[in-house]
Structure 1
Amino acid sequence: MIIFIFTAFRYNVGWDYQAYYKSIQYGLITNIVSNGEYASIFLVDISRRTGITNLYFFVNAFITIFLFSKTIKEYSKDNWLSLIIFLCFPLFYLNSLSVIRFFTALAITFYGFRYIERRKFIKYLIFVVLASMFHKTALIAIVFYFVYNLNLKISKLVVLLTLLPVLSILFNKAIIRYFPRYMVYTQLTSIQEGTKAIIVLIILAIVLLIFRKKIICGDTVVNGYYNIFFTGLSIYLMFSSQGTMGHRLSLYGTIFSILLISEVLSKLKINRDRFVIKIGIYLLCILMFLYTVYIGSGTYIPYRTIFNIY
């Protein structure tokens, strides 16, 4: 019941709303319907035929919220903490209000983690392919199946991070030559998404590197979170000076921070320390949420804070 209520208040906001609305209502040919993402095209078609434009947004919202909620409930050591981080961190839930079909794809691959854990590649591949029918970028999540069991030591991570700029150049050349339609996502730009929020993820990465052994403690699942998170962060850093490519693709991995943070806190033996840190995280999350909504009040339409009341 809570999911249905939550979804009803979520489905019609964000800076991409007009593009989606016009594609459905007026039959405009945009990348929403021209990229061959068949699940998204199907929902657009159903919305057009029924005359219920917001049906598209509601279905995507329900899929996103349901799959994230279910995965958090099953895998997080602290459900409320993970949920608050998901809702308040600017790159996660608030971002889903705009990049709608992308977050549907992200939710499906996130839910599919259970098949990485169980080492059932075919089932995981089915979920990734299904996700790619909403947004093709989901195909990058196939990599997570193969990094899950790796022993990513600090020295190896440092070498990898050092090589990222070279890999970025090679990747860009391949995009320009073979996939020119996607050049817009890799073009150099001074305006990027998530440039401030990524600092929080980098700080988290430093903590994870320092306390790696204590956090993982031989737990295969936590090691999987760890590897997937760092794969996502590496993708962001690889394209840190370019368009939206890094920000978007990295989310398939960095979203696992909502599970990792709960794991980090669960390793603290003193309850008082855990309580103090948790309160600090809650306060930080609330501040990030209010800041994001306040500076983006024209973007996140339904949200108002006490600073917006006249």
Structure 2
Amino acid sequence: MKVYLNIILYLCLYGFIFRFLPIEEKTKKKLFILFAAFHLIFVQGFRFKSVGGDLYRYEVFYDIVKYFDLNQFINHRFELGFKCVVWVFSNLNLSFQNFLLIISVFTITLFSKTVYEYSKFPLISFVLYLITGMFDFGFSGLRQIISMSLILLSFKYILNKNAFKYNIIVILASLFHKSALIFLLFQIFNIKDIGKIYLKIYPVILICIVILGSNLSRLLTIIFKQDLLTYYSDDFSGFGGTSLVIFSVLLLSAITKIILKESNRILDNLIIITSVSLLFQSLSQYSYLFTRFNLFFYQFIALLVPNLIFYWRSFFSLNNKHIKFIFDIIIFFIFILLSFNFYKLILEGNPHQIIPHIYRWEDFNA
């Protein structure tokens, strides 16, 4: 567990060092993201192939796919894009261990690129990447983490209203995990005033989801993933901690737009995506189907929260450097303290079987 908790401490160290270097802000940001990304890649990419709950079945598939005939290849249950990528690397005789490293480099690099482009505070984004479970999930859910990373690329084309490129990337992402197809629906919010109307009636939608959640989640589970009915529950246990956190972020977003009158395409689209996340989170207590869907949305929360903090920081500081510094220190310590303890609780549950952590050069039987 220590190797994972230490990541937060190292991220803080990198942030502290680069903050006080006498260089341009853009260069500081690039250096921090470079060091943070390398650290995550090192921990995830160089782990032993036993670290991750689903890796055994992925390794079996990796070893045998090169011997499949066309019919076996087509009928295997994994998505076509993932099968093709695995087939290529397997036929190149690349070890499964190195294949895991390539996936880690690919997914964490795409997340880091998105953080650089859209996050006001990269440190907060990287910590959120940990405590929302996305980093841990990347050890196990290979198909979906690739798909999630590709969806991050599509965000640019939502902002630019480039429907063609957006659709291409979403469809490409669905070739690694079909749940990515849900993002095709987000184009509707680019239609004039649809996004504004949606946000106005959002409270009504949320109430309906809560009231009808059990029946709705059962219906959608049957339609999209009937085998997950074994994880289905009729009981409403109330909003859990994750739902409350997302709700708090949305409430802060609403206050930001009303009081600070902040409105831009990045902020507005991140709010819409996060609002959908709460709808899915409300259904996830009934069916595991929605828990898997929601992972796609958590990565956008890692972009929204730093932007909200930035706007409130500007509001309170009034461009005074000393007040800004005090504000940063207070937010930093509160956020890191809460994140450290929350991440520790997640790791103790070990949902993705990443504990104990073992590097590939360590003796597994030691």
* Mean Cα deviation higher: 215-224 or 258-267: 215-224
Pairing partner for 1:219 from 264, 272, 295: 264
Q: Could you tell me which residue of structure 2 aligns to residue 206 of structure 1? A: 251
State the alpha-carbon separation in 2 of the partners of residues 167 and 9 from structure 1.
38
State the alpha-carbon separation in 1 of the partners of residues 179 and 351 from structure 2.
28
Deviation at 1:215, TM superposition (A): 6.0
State the alpha-carbon separation in 1 of the partners of residues 234 and 269 from structure 2.
33
**Deviations along 1:176-228, whole A, 9 cap, x unmatched?**
3x5565544873388x9x96544432332333344442466121220111011
TM-score, normalization: structure 1?
0.82
State the alpha-carbon separation in 2 of the partners of residues 229 and 298 from structure 1.
24
What is the number of residues matched between the two proteins? 299
Matched residue SS, 1:217: coil
- Between Structure 1 and Structure 2, whose CA radius of gyration is higher? 2
Q: Could you tell me which residue of structure 2 aligns to residue 9 of structure 1? A: 43
State the alpha-carbon separation in 2 of the partners of residues 48 and 163 from structure 1.
48
Pairing partner for 2:345 from 280, 288, 291: 291
Q: Could you tell me which residue of structure 1 aligns to residue 56 of structure 2? A: 18
Q: Please identify which structure carries the higher helix content.
A: 2
State the alpha-carbon separation in 1 of the partners of residues 148 and 234 from structure 2.
25
Cα separation, partners in 2 of 1:302 and 1:170, compared to 1, 3 Å? closer
Deviation at 1:229, TM superposition (A): 0.8
Matched residue SS, 1:14: coil
Deviation at 1:94, TM superposition (A): 1.4
Q: Could you tell me which residue of structure 2 aligns to residue 110 of structure 1? A: 152
Q: Could you tell me which residue of structure 2 aligns to residue 275 of structure 1? A: 329
Cα separation, partners in 2 of 1:169 and 1:186, compared to 1, 3 Å? farther
Q: Could you tell me which residue of structure 1 aligns to residue 276 of structure 2? A: 231
TM-score, normalization: structure 2?
0.71
**Deviations along 1:68-88, whole A, 9 cap, x unmatched?**
0000001111122212221x2
* Mean Cα deviation higher: 104-113 or 287-296: 287-296
Deviation at 1:120, TM superposition (A): 0.2
Q: In the alignment, is residue 78 of structure 1 matched against residue 111 of structure 2? A: no
State the alpha-carbon separation in 2 of the partners of residues 23 and 53 from structure 1.
10
Q: Could you tell me which residue of structure 1 aligns to residue 31 of structure 2? A: none
Matched residue SS, 1:256: helix
State the alpha-carbon separation in 1 of the partners of residues 356 and 101 from structure 2.
15
Deviation at 1:282, TM superposition (A): 1.7
Q: Could you tell me which residue of structure 1 aligns to residue 79 of structure 2? A: 37
Q: Output the amino acid matched with 2:329.
A: F
Q: Could you tell me which residue of structure 1 aligns to residue 90 of structure 2? A: 48
Q: What is the root-mean-square deviation in Å for CA atoms of aligned residues?
A: 3.4
Pairing partner for 2:109 from 66, 71, 75: 66
Pairing partner for 1:95 from 137, 143, 149: 137
Deviation at 1:296, TM superposition (A): 2.1
Identify unmatched segments of 5+ residues in structure 2: 1-33, 318-323, 359-366
Q: Give % identity.
A: 20
Q: Which has the higher contact order (CA 8 A, sep 6+)?
A: 2
